[in-house]
Amino acid sequence: MQVWPGRAFPLGASYDGAGTNFAVFSEAADRIELCLLHDDGSETAVELRETDAFVRHAYLPGVMPGQRYGYRVHGPYDPARGLRCNSAKLLLDPYARAMSGRIDWDEAVYGYRFGAPQTRNDRDSAPHTMASVVVNPYFDWGDDRPPRTEYHETVLYEAHVKGLTMLHPGLPDELRGTYAALAHPAVIEHLTELGVTALELMPVHQFVDDHRLADAGLSNYWGYNTIGFFAPHNTYASWGDRGEQVLEFKSAVRALHRAGIEVVLDVVYNHTAEGNHLGPTLSFKGLDNPSYYRLADDPRYYMDTTGTGNSLLMRSPHVLQMIMDSLRYWVEEMHVDGFRFDLAATLARQFHEVDRLSSFFDLVQQDPVVSRVKLIAEPWDLGEGGYQVGNFPPLWTEWNGKYRDTVRDLWRGEPRALAEFASRLTGSSDLYQDDGRRPLASVNFVTCHDGFTLRDLVSYNEKHNEANGEGNRDGESHNRSWNCGVEGETDDPDVLALRQRQMRNFVATLMLSQGVPMLGHGDEFGRTQGGNNNAYCQDNEVAWVPWADPGGPPEPFLEFTRAMVRLRREHPVFRRRRFFHGRPVQGTHDELTDIAWFTPEGEEMTQRDWQAAQARSMSVFLNGNAISEPGPHGERILDDSFLLMFNASDRPREFVVPADHGRQWEAVVDTVLPDGLPADGDRKVYGGDRITLAGRSLMVLQRPA
């Protein structure tokens, strides 16, 4: 076999049409062998003799796409110094563009779960672990263009590749649960009819199952257990894992783009699947443990702000380089449109405390590729001071956990929720305005993958996670949920009607709020997980979306959700780019303020009204003449005006329509109705009218511009 010196850049395996360049970083290694794996179980070892800045490299002519490979690192095994080299382990390439196979924990548990080497010449580990794969980078993207949907027009839809598509009756069996299913016309049609503009995919970076879950007959369904930051997860491919997963993912992105739907990836750069000091040695540990991980004062152990056993070392230039290389790769080569960063506060822990100006954010800010896509932070981790909602740099948007909590509190009837609810409804200026950000910094959500589904939020007071095998100890215990009087499933028509109304209240509130709305997959169908609020290990019907019959009549709640997304899309007053000011609109003859708050009696809210412990009802006027952005030709945008009437108390409440804010109105939303949409004959409302809202309901009145 010919071996040429090759290049130290780029890292990973790079195929150029004639052969493949291999490059891998390790400062800890004495020497590194590249092992080419053959289908008969044998391997060919090639020592990487060329070194530049601790990067070992070689070019092998004739090595083609589909070739499986790994590395064996010869060097010190000394956990007391944080070193865990072990040539008995076949290691994955941190920069592998694809990975093949799976870990056989039954055979590999002692060789992989524990770090100590058995024998230096033991190469039996290869059949029991995964392998890196050389990938063909060439793909016909055709006329693919990123949709580049602006935040104020964005509707996010959080989804799991397998969970979204596994039960879809309109898909061929062989496509269900795969990237190809995302590209199927039946799935894309549903997303476009719903009004989704961006699909936020739960982790698709290559991940592995935990040994503990495998022993229990479960799996890491959610995928927050990454081992390959450049490789699409192989089991989501419908037709192979020797690079086919890359082609299939690219094809899905291309199809979604043609439908105008962006692809945002949920990425986990805060930790890896190698766990703590008892975890497996799969890649980073064996290559250069102290360069990749945040070690404790005793280097045998790991600092853990993620709850997974380890945290990546965010002040290491090699970790930062890997993350930035990964982000650029997914934008430039895989054409994705943005990222949602799991436990993003960990990325800010350059030393111990959270620092929003850490090196990672500096790198993102100046990067000409990454800085131009959607960047969404999950603004917390499990470490000290880790709850950082509102504290990320101006380039970033954030999952607004305070929005979720406040909206849940209001509709379940908590006291003193009204004032904070007003802030969340109008874009959370208390969190984002001081540092120059706008309402669009807030990603608003009521439910997500972590916690109850929307239906379970109104059906359960307590979590029911017994199926996870942890004695119901896992998952959040304080859910801010309300079961409407009965725990779990019921046939009581009054309870069922109240639950449906509460679900309409949540979806309507979400779409009427300033910021960027996010729906959870299947919530539009009323998906239930049976009260399981931590379905991370449930790769089954518990967590999969139960699709409605595509040939049957539309379900009322699905139609209502579509109608609320459409109302938001058609009226810019619900998706302003700037905060309200509470002042009359400049440059017009309109003497009304851009926003006004009223008691149910039609009087403007006072400080005493806001602070009343039992106040759970109010109206808010949104002035359609106050849209502050100019149109495409510099003209002022005018919209209809709206009066939003909220009654979160459990009793009917009479509301007065303010007479001086409009003479004639039309009711366009009424969540007390089974479909939430008033009939044409019931829509006329006049200034000064008195309207009775049922307990726990909202109504939207519209006044033409």
In SS3 terms, 619-658 reads as EEEECHHHCCCECCCCCECCCCEEEEEEECCCCCEEEECC
CB count in 10 Å sphere of residue 101: 17
What is the token pair recorded at 27? 């400062």
Q: Is the dihedral of CA 164, 166, 167, 170 positive or negative?
A: positive
What is the C-alpha to C-alpha distance for residues 553 and 517, in angstroms, rounded to an integer? 27
The H or E element spanning position 24 is strand 19-25
pLDDT at 14: 98
pLDDT at 351: 64
What is the C-alpha to C-alpha distance for residues 550 and 256, in angstroms, rounded to an integer? 20
Burial of 651 by CB count in 10 Å (0-12 exposed, 13-18 middle, 19+ buried)? exposed
User: Is the preceding omega at residue 10 within 30 degrees of 0, hence cis?
Assistant: yes
Our CA angle for 647, 699, 429, nearest 5°, is 75
Stated length of the chain: 705
pLDDT at 124: 52
What is the C-alpha to C-alpha distance for residues 692 and 600, in angstroms, rounded to an integer? 10
Beta strands in 466-520 (DSSP E): 516-520
Positions annotated as catalytic residues are 342, 378
- The Cα-based distances of 499 to 298, 354, 481, 546 in angstroms read 52, 40, 11, 19
The runs of H, that is alpha helices, within 341-448 are 359-366, 401-412, 418-425, 429-432
CB count in 10 Å sphere of residue 450: 17
Beta strands in 546-605 (DSSP E): 595-598
pLDDT at 289: 98
What is the token pair recorded at 212? 């503990």
What is the C-alpha to C-alpha distance for residues 314 and 490, in angstroms, rounded to an integer? 49
Q: Distance between the two ends of the chain, CA-based, in angstroms?
A: 76
Reduce the secondary structure of 213-260 to three states and give it as a string. Answer: HHHCCCCCCCCCCEEEEEEECHHHCCCCCCCHHHHHHHHHHHHHHHCC
Low-confidence spans in the chain with pLDDT less than 70: 106-127, 351-352, 354-357, 550-552, 586-589, 628-636
Q: Crossing angle for the helix pair 493-512 and 556-570, nearest 10 degrees?
A: 20
Please choose, from the candidates 162, 148, 182, the residue with its C-alpha nearest in 3D space to the C-alpha of residue 250: 182
Q: Which residues of 631-640 are buried (b: 16+ CB within 10 A; e: fewer)?
A: eeeeeebbbb
The H or E element spanning position 191 is helix 185-194
Burial of 149 by CB count in 10 Å (0-12 exposed, 13-18 middle, 19+ buried)? middle
pLDDT at 120: 40
Report the DSSP pairing between strands 31-37 and 68-74: antiparallel
What is the C-alpha to C-alpha distance for residues 177 and 643, in angstroms, rounded to an integer? 43
Q: Is 62 left (phi over 0), alpha (psi -120 to 50) or beta?
A: left
- Residue 190: partners with Cβ closer than 8 Å, 6 or more residues away: none
By the 8 A CB rule, do 213 and 224 touch? no
What is the token pair recorded at 209? 């199952």
Please choose, from the candidates 583, 487, 474, 604, the residue with its C-alpha nearest in 3D space to the C-alpha of residue 534: 474
Phi/psi at 76 (5° precision): -75, 135
What is the token pair recorded at 91? 């290691």
Please choose, from the candidates 329, 498, 503, 397, the residue with its C-alpha nearest in 3D space to the C-alpha of residue 156: 397
pLDDT at 354: 67
What is the C-alpha to C-alpha distance for residues 181 and 189, in angstroms, rounded to an integer? 12
Reduce the secondary structure of 269-336 to three states and give it as a string. Answer: CCCCCCCCCCCCCCCHHHHHHHHHECECCCCCCECCCCCCCCCECCCCHHHHHHHHHHHHHHHHCCCC
Q: Which long-range contacts (CB under 8 A, 24 or more apart) does 467-472 make?
A: 467/532, 467/538, 467/542, 468/218, 468/532, 468/534, 468/535, 468/536, 468/537, 468/538, 469/216, 469/218, 469/537
What is the C-alpha to C-alpha distance for residues 247 and 250, in angstroms, rounded to an integer? 5
Residue 112 DSSP one-character state:
I
Residue type, 135: V
Please choose, from the candidates 201, 177, 181, the residue with its C-alpha nearest in 3D space to the C-alpha of residue 190: 181
pLDDT at 511: 98
Q: Is the dihedral of CA 189, 190, 192, 198 positive or negative?
A: negative
pLDDT at 488: 97
By the 8 A CB rule, do 405 and 479 touch? no
What is the C-alpha to C-alpha distance for residues 490 and 502, in angstroms, rounded to an integer? 16
Q: Crossing angle for the helix pair 317-332 and 359-366, nearest 10 degrees?
A: 30
What is the C-alpha to C-alpha distance for residues 359 and 374, in angstroms, rounded to an integer? 19
